[in-house]
Amino acid sequence: MTTFSDMETVSDVETVPQDLLIVLRHPPHGSQWLREGLDVALVAAAFGQRVGLLFQGDGVYALLKDQQAGALGQKGTHPQMAMLEMYDIDMLWVSETALAERELSADDLMLPMVPLNAEAVAELFARHPRTLIF
C-alpha cells in the first residue's frame, strides 16, 4: 500500500499558483457545499480560468473511489469529479493531515492527488490571492 508519508516532500513546482483556488471541506451527500463548490470550479474552468482544488477536512471524502448516489436520493458528486479532467482541472491538492486523520491512503482515492503538509497548505493559500472556500 502506498501512503502519502512515503512520498517525497512537495516541492515548489507542485504548488504552481493557478488563477483561482477552490477549497473543498465538506463530504458528498450531507450538504450542498461540495456540489456547489465543484460547480464553481467547473464554470470557472469553462470561462478559461486555471483552477486548482484543495481538499481539506471531510472534503477528502469527495475523493474516495466507488462512490454512488446517496441513500436519500442525493445525486452525489462523483459525476462532477469525473468531469474535472475534461475541464483541464489537473492541479489537485489534498491535505495529508486530513487523509491521515481518516486513515485514508492514495489507494483509496479516485484521482492522483498532490499531498500537502500543513506548511505547504499555508504556502498554497499565500500564493493564491483568489481563493473561494466551500
Partner 1 sequence: MLTYALLVHAAPYSHQSALSALRFAETVVARGHRLKTVFFYHDGVHNASALMSPPQDEVHLADGWKRLHEVHGAELLVCVAAGLRRGVLDTSEASRHGLAAHSVEPPFELTGVGQLVDAMLANDRLITFAP
Binding residues for partner 1 (CB under 8 A): 20, 32-33, 36, 39-40, 43-44, 46-47, 49, 130, 132-133
Rounded least distance, CB 36 to partner 1, Å = 5
Phi, psi of 34 (to 5 degrees): -65, -50
Rounded least distance, CB 65 to partner 1, Å = 27
Name the residue nearer to partner 1 (CB basis): 83 or 100.
83
Rounded least distance, CB 86 to partner 1, Å = 17
Name the residue nearer to partner 1 (CB basis): 5 or 79.
79
Name the residue nearer to partner 1 (CB basis): 4 or 55.
55
Rounded least distance, CB 125 to partner 1, Å = 13
